[in-house]
Structure 1
């Protein structure tokens, strides 16, 4: 069984913000596959079937690992079968990549998952949100802002590609998915 975790923050004020791109991908997977993510368990909204779990932690970003650990333990999922979808400052808007990383890269949601699972060996689908255009804008403010109109169209294409990649990951070897998805840029 595969666990697909979309990172974000609960609450209407965070809908469509850069930091909630993980939630947006999970929502797109649900929409594309006519799935309802409506089980409220393990401090998360989840959907479970025999092949995969879709998960949106409701613990706020910095505590995401607590919810992931609960789902992982209950369903006895190996860390090697976890794919976390998150925003990435160091990737340009319109780009994304899947990788197995060894650090949080400064992302507090990933840091929380690493701390709670006691391993950094799980896959990340990192979606580029770019960096602020000016040095005066704080990172925390930037990630909690929404994409501009031009970026929304670009991001929707990335979300669609990420959805396809995740559905492929559920039924294929991760290396096959990485090779195909990362080539698209």
Structure 2
């Protein structure tokens, strides 16, 4: 069984914000699979259990704020007895140019507080992550930038990236070969 978690903040005020790119990716995956999330306050997540290419998959959005994402991830992992190596976390990354992705099997939190909390709560950094570049704004406070909404031009760049992310997820689940996914789907970091 796999667990795919998109990071973001709950609430209408955060819809379409840069920090919620993980939620945007999950929404697109759910649309592709023609399924919906259900809220489970005990597990602190909105999630669904489905099958992709015959594999059981939990697709989730934490109901906590970004900085407490580890609570939901840990509860889902324990409830469904999912191995840490079968977890994929989708998140924003200001260090990557807008629309670029970086897929890794392990790594640091890189200053991303949701990822930092997951690492702390799981007690390991050895889970898969898919970072989606949201770029950075040199003349804007980082918090204001990540909590700001995507412009129309930014959305035009991000939406094809989300399709690409879906392809990577589906292929990972169908082949169970994450090394090939990293080789095939990691995008060059220069624009």
2:144 matches 1:141: yes
Structure 1 residues not aligned, in runs of 5+:
none
Give the drift of 1:133.
Answer: 3.0
1:19 is aligned to 2:19:
yes
Q: Which of 160, 178, 182 pairs up with 2:186?
A: 182
Partner secondary structure for residue 186 of structure 2: helix
Tell me the alpha carbon deviations over residues 7-47 of structure 1, each in whole angstroms, 9 at most, x when there is no partner.
Answer: 00000000000000000000000001101112425010000
What is the aligned partner in structure 1 of residue 68 from structure 2?
63
Whole-Å separation in 2 of the counterparts to 1:129 and 1:184? 15
Alignment partners' CA distance in 2, 1:183 and 1:105: 18
TM-score (normalised: structure 1): 0.95
How many residues in Structure 1 have an aligned counterpart in Structure 2?
183
Aligned position for 1:98: 103
Deviation at 1:184, TM superposition (A): 7.0
Alignment correspondent of 1:166: 169
The 1:81/1:9 distance shift into structure 2, 3 A limit, reads same
Q: Is the 8 A contact 2:101 2:187 kept in 1?
A: no
- Please state how far the C-alpha of 1:102 moved relative to its aligned partner: 2.5
How far apart are residue 147 of structure 1 and its match?
1.4
Deviates more, 1:46-55 or 1:27-36: 46-55
Q: How does 1:40-79 map to 2 (within 5 A)?
A: 40-41=40-41, 42-49=43-50, 51-79=56-84
TM-score normalised per structure 2 = 0.92
Q: Summarize deviations over 1:31-85 as a string: whole Å, max 9, x none.
A: 0110111242501000013511001001110000011000001111111111000
Distance (whole Å) between structure 2 residues aligned to residue 184 and residue 68 of structure 1:
29
